[in-house]
Every structure is written in C-alpha cells, then in structure tokens.
Amino acid sequence: MTNFSKAAIIGGGVIGGGWAARFALNGIDVAVFDPDPEAPRKIGEVYANAERALRVLCVAPLPKPGTITYADSIAEAVEGAQWIQESVSEVLALKHKVFAEIQASAPDTLIGSSTSGFKPSELQEGAVNSGSILVAHPFNPVYLLPLVELVPSPATSPETLAFAEAVLPPLGMKPLVVRKEIDAHIADRFLEAVWREALWLVKDGIATTEEIDDAIRFGFGLRWAQMGLFETYRVAGGEAGMKHFMAQFGPCLTFPWTKLMDVPEFTDELVDLIAGQSDAQSGHHSIRELERIRDDNLVGILQALKVKPWGAGETLAAYEKQLREASFGGTVEHDASKPLPLHTARVLPEWVDYNGHMTEFRYLHVFGDATDAFLTNIGMDSAYMARERSIYTVESHIRHVQEVAAGKPLALETQLLGYDEKRVRLCHIMREAETGEVLATGEHMMLSVDTKAGRATPLEEPVPARLAAIWEGGHKDLPAPDFAGRAIREI
C-alpha cells in the first residue's frame, strides 16, 4: 500500500465530517480546518454514527482509529498530510481561495474536491500546481456508501490520479474514474434530472413528496441498489436481448414523458409546498433518527449484497478480507492458557425468524464458522485439503441459552477438549460481544477423513503438532465447561 497516514479535511459539514470519519475509522489521522465553532460537535456526531454503522457492517475487526484534531489554519491542517479533501460550499471563488491557501504551504499534495458540479479544470484556474488537483466526489453518508467519482482534468498529473485510485479501496471505497470532465460528473446528472422532474410533479399536484419517494423505493430503487440502469434493462429485455429492449423503448424518448425544455421556477411557494409535504411525510422522525434508520438499512442492504458477493457487496467483502488479513496474518499464536477468541460474527437480518430472534439452525451456522476458524488455525488450509484430507463434524450438541436479536455482535471462544489420532473434540461458547452474556454453547466431535476414499484416516501434519501446542500450552489444564460431556436429560 501507498504510505497514507494523515488526511486534512477543509470544510467540516456533513460531507467533510463523513470523510473525516471514513479516514479516522480506518486508522488515518485527520486534521480538520473549519472556521465554524460548531464543527467539532457536528463532526463528532457524524463520527458517532459512522462508528456505530461500520462496526455493524464489518464482520472483521476495524483497526485502531486515527485521531481527529482541529487546526487553526489551513496551513496547520495540511502539514504532513498525504491527502487533502476540500468540502467547502459550492462557490467557485471560495474554492479557488482555499486551494491557493493550501498550495501556499503544500503545493504538491493531492487535493480532492467534494464538488458536486464543478469540473476539475474550473477548480484548477489560477492554481500554483494544477497537477495535484482532482475531483473526488463522494456520496452521503460518506462512511457507508462506497462510490467516489474521481475526475481528473488534462492538467491533473497521472501520479495524483494513481495515488487516489490506490488509497480509496483499502478504505472500503469504490473509485470510479470519469473519462472526460463534464459538469456534475455522472451520478449527479441523473440526480438532477430526477430532481427537476420530481419538482414538476409536486408543483403540478400529480404527486406529493411521499408518493414520489414511494414510487422510487418500492420499485426501481430496489433494482438500482444492485444493478444499475443498463444491466437492469438487459435483464428486462430477456431472451430477445439488449437491442430488442432498445428498439422497444428507444422511441419513448420522443414521447412527452418528461418536461424536456422547462426548469421549474424556484419560488417561495414551491419551496413551502415541498418543505410542508416533507414535514408531513417524515417530520415524526428527527434527522438523527432518520440517519440511523438510513444507516441500519444501508448496512443490511450491503450485507445482503455480500452473500453473492455482488456490486457494493463485493467491495465490502474485499474490505473485510483485507481487515481480517491485517488483523490475523494467517495462523497466529494465541495464548493457550485460556479459550481461544478465534471468531466474531453479527446476526444478519436473514438469520432471524418471524419472532425477531436468530433462527435455531443459525446457532449451528455460527458454531460451524467458529469451528472453521479453529481448523484454519491448526493448519487445515487449502494445501491440506488439496491432499484429499479434511475434517468433518460428526456430532454436535447445542444449548440455546438466550434469544438473540438481529444485529447483535457475537464473540466466540473455543476450547480444545481432547484429541486422538483421528478425532478432535472441542467446545465453543457464544457470547454477546459487548456484554459478555452467554447466548449458546456448542460441543462438537470432528473426524479426520480421506475425502477421496470416504473413510476415516489419521490427522496429518501440521495439524497434530498444532493441536499438541494448544493442548500442552494450556488447554489440557483448563476445566471442561459444565455442559461438556452431558447428554440431553430424559423427562
């Protein structure tokens, strides 16, 4: 990875705060410059939301967070930073003034602008060093949505773009390089088109803000979370294919489906109409509540997309893999004087039954994953399996101690209860990660098998040596939990 340890945030609103949280929660130190005395409070609130959401999102440990400090000047903020993110108001003259101040002390450091609409060449006008400036346009909430539109101008240096492309994926983000600069880049052109059309529908009394939102989120919004426009239409075209689809719907472009020529006038009446309808629709939730609902839903959607994995779920899977590898590094030596903390999990929405509790068989799902983590740790890796050897669970005894709700963080600890030439006996305790409360216990007998011959076979190195290290290292002296070796009692 490129050397990236400090970011400067110029402008600490919702977007700047979101960048600050994304950076800091990934271990990057952040210096913020914002003359607003309220900035630390506002960023603190964004950070709290971000931390809450990311800890639920990732089935992998986050690194030690970076610090967030508040600088008295732009010069102080940018000192030592490898990435400077500008998120001030959408006023070109203000952005030029900020860039001049940044480049007075850090002319060669990457400056990403969060601008929704300006082209990078507009931002670069009058700059000391245009080469280090590009658009890095994120989407709110910056700490959860992966997309960053990276827009270089011809004057942006290839090194600047390459650095941006390298830095973002390890933060769980998805850089999308826009080939040619254009007003509003890509996504905001779509948003603007929909926004303009929606204002007409409200103004003309066709639909309220709530009805418009429902027309999106009960229909095509569900499609666009996973496939975009073209792939969705490719599927809709079915066997006949994309050309057929286009032949069918192409001509609609000339139908009077949209207000092509007009821009609704932004009168006080229209603003009041929309603000009033929005109050009626959402006013019973505070903004803070809506933010959390939004974040919880985004977490659930991203995790749902991770199953395949697909789209933003693929970004999440890669991010988690990297976090896990950074935290483990393959087989780690653990303190064998106590049970091994080898697995954590989070109760996914689809693991929950109609009572809102984790379904019975998902307990075994989690225990199975914990067993896999143990087996990986004792050397049953892909090389081991390539020799047509594996270790199967032949018996499980589960005690469901507590109901578990969706979203709960789970921490597993694993104790080796014994082993011989062909068998391994172990138990797991599943705890609520934050409170430590015991939720369930599992006891399992594993058998070493020759997968080709389909019969039991002795365990092979390095497994016996690793088992011995855990056993002799302390597990043989640990008392067996009271549930181990017990049968289900007769009634």
Asked if 479 touches its own copies (CB under 8 A), the answer is: no
Q: How far is the CB of 340 from its own copies (least distance, A)?
A: 18
Asked if 417 touches its own copies (CB under 8 A), the answer is: yes
Which CB, 108 or 183, lies closer to its own copies?
183
Asked if 108 touches its own copies (CB under 8 A), the answer is: no
Could you identify the residue written with the tokens 């860039």?
99
Q: How far is the CB of 92 from its own copies (least distance, A)?
A: 11
**Binding residues for its own copies restricted to 123-162, rule: CB under 8 A:** 139-140, 145-147, 149
Which CB, 82 or 278, lies closer to its own copies?
278
Q: Single out the segment in contact with its own copies by CB under 8 A; choices: 77-85, 159-167, 240-248, 460-468.
A: 240-248
Name residue 372's amino acid. Answer: D
Of 135, 115, 58, the C-alpha closest to 322 is 58
Q: How far is the CB of 367 from its own copies (least distance, A)?
A: 8
Which CB, 217 or 338, lies closer to its own copies?
217
| Strand extents, DSSP E, 116-194 | 133-138, 147-151, 174-177
Of 467, 483, 464, 485, the C-alpha closest to 475 is 467
Neighbours of 299 (CB within 10 A): 23
Which CB, 101 or 314, lies closer to its own copies?
314
Of 150, 308, 168, the C-alpha closest to 227 is 308
**Binding residues for its own copies restricted to 308-327, rule: CB under 8 A:** 308, 310-312, 315, 320-321, 324
| Reduced DSSP (H G I as helix, E B as strand, rest coil) percent helix, strand, coil of the chain, to 5 | 45, 20, 35
Q: Single out the segment in contact with its own copies by CB under 8 A; choices: 4-12, 100-108, 152-160, 419-427.
A: 419-427
**Binding residues for its own copies restricted to 243-272, rule: CB under 8 A:** 243, 246-258, 260-261, 263-264, 266, 271
Give the Cα separation of 61 and 116 in Å (integer). Answer: 33
Q: How far is the CB of 106 from its own copies (least distance, A)?
A: 29
Residue from 62, 445, 456, 478 binding its own copies (CB under 8 A): 445
Of 291, 319, 292, 293, the C-alpha closest to 306 is 319
**Are 423 and 433 spatial neighbours (Cβ–Cβ below 8 Å)?**
no
Which CB, 129 or 149, lies closer to its own copies?
149
Give the Cα separation of 123 and 185 in Å (integer). Answer: 14
**Are 85 and 114 spatial neighbours (Cβ–Cβ below 8 Å)?**
yes
Name residue 376's amino acid. Answer: T
**Binding residues for its own copies restricted to 175-204, rule: CB under 8 A:** 176, 178-180, 182-199, 201, 204
Spatial CB neighbours of 229, under 8 Å, sequence gap ≥ 6: none
Asked if 93 touches its own copies (CB under 8 A), the answer is: no
413 strand-pairing partners: 429
Asked if 231 touches its own copies (CB under 8 A), the answer is: yes
Which CB, 53 or 78, lies closer to its own copies?
53
Q: How many CA atoms lie within 13 A of 246 on its CB side?
A: 7
**Binding residues for its own copies restricted to 282-311, rule: CB under 8 A:** 282, 287, 290-291, 293-294, 296-298, 300-308, 310-311
**Binding residues for its own copies restricted to 34-73, rule: CB under 8 A:** 59-60
**Binding residues for its own copies restricted to 338-397, rule: CB under 8 A:** 349-350, 352-355, 359-365, 367-368, 371, 390, 392-397
**Are 164 and 136 spatial neighbours (Cβ–Cβ below 8 Å)?**
yes
